[in-house]
Amino acid sequence: MSGVKYDRCDLRHPWGVTYADEKLLRFHFVSQGACWIHTEAQGWEELHEGDLVLLPQGIAHRMASAPDVMDRTLKSCRVTDLGSNVCDVVQAGEGETSTLLCGTMVLGASALNPLIDLMPPIIKGCDVASSDPLIAPLLAAMTAEAAQPQMGGATVLSRMADLLIARLIRCWANCSGASTTGWLAAIRDPHIGRALVAMHRHPGRNWTLETLAGIAGQSRSIFAERFSTILGEGAARYLARLRMQLARDLLAQNGLSVAEVASRLGYESEASFSRAFKRITQVSPGILRRTKSGRIGKNIGL
């Protein structure tokens, strides 16, 4: 996770905040007080103390102390930087107080892209956390920390939030059905899963079907057939698309040259990398690098 930012919010009724549609993972944890959330698909839903909602794709939504409250809160808030990527957001007033911990983060690892794309647009923590005995104590600890800020509280809250989100994503993955095909089925497979992990951890390595089959503990032919059956494409095609997704990130965000990216991802020459990149993304790496945005061309998502 990168670009992590947490807000500890003390808001007095009436309050309302609108969040735009952005490619970010967001979550909201209600420590105390009244809170409602609105999404286009589900309308207004009431949240209670101890509730947590996760929005993996960062869809547009509203948070408010009541459904009829106008969006005007942030302009009147006092924002204080507490350190450790945590800000204290306070709205003065005479109404009932709502205390929330709200988080925003970028899942920078391309390895997570397929998983996040599979997740629903909004997830309630209580709906997926029954299989993890640590979720309830974590939420209770976050409630206590948010209610009585102390020295080092920002660091404690941010670390607990990191752990909570990671465990919630894992809980969802573990209880999201028993499909026999697709990326989630592949990562669960005891053989194919090991090969996927190896490719995502070391995308620039000179992978061959033989070495991947060896990691999977299968023969070359059985591995190739099983991989294609579950994922709908061969290992070579999958690896090429993974490399191009990583290349998009490196070219757009890190300012590396095309030659440096090619070398990092295991290509022997800039020319061979450029041909592969354009074949998969429909745009040349040079053009993408010059834009510095990573938004040109197709979203190739794995």
Q: What are the domain boundaries of the chain?
A: 2-174, 183-291
Beta bridge partners of 61: 19
Taken in order 25, 174, 229, 235, is the CA torsion positive or negative? positive
Domain 2-174, what fold? Jelly Rolls (2.60.120)
Percentage of the residues of the chain whose pLDDT score is greater than 70: 88
Identical fold at 2-174 and 183-291? no
Residues 1, 295, 204, 115, CA torsion sign: positive
- What's the farthest any 2 CA atoms get from each other in the chain? 70
Q: What's the predicted TM-score (pTM) here?
A: 0.68
100: helix, strand or coil: strand
pLDDT at 294 over 50: no
Interval 187-232: pLDDT, tens: 889 999 999 999 988 999 999 999 999 999 999 999 999 999 999 9
Angle between helices 235-253 and 220-231 (to 10 degrees): 60
For residue 249 the two structure tokens come to: 């990130």
* Long-range pairs of 274-277 with CB within 8 A, sequence gap ≥ 24: 276/240, 276/243, 276/244, 277/244, 277/247
Residue type for position 19: Y
How does DSSP classify residue 111? G
Query: Which fold is adopted by the domain 183-291?
Result: Arc Repressor Mutant, subunit A (1.10.10)
Which secondary-structure segment (H or E) carries 158? helix 153-174
**What is the three-class DSSP state of 273?**
helix
Whether the pLDDT of residue 297 is over 60: the answer is no
pLDDT above 60: residue 95: yes
List, for residues 240-261, the tens digit of each pLDDT value: 988 988 888 788 766 688 999 9
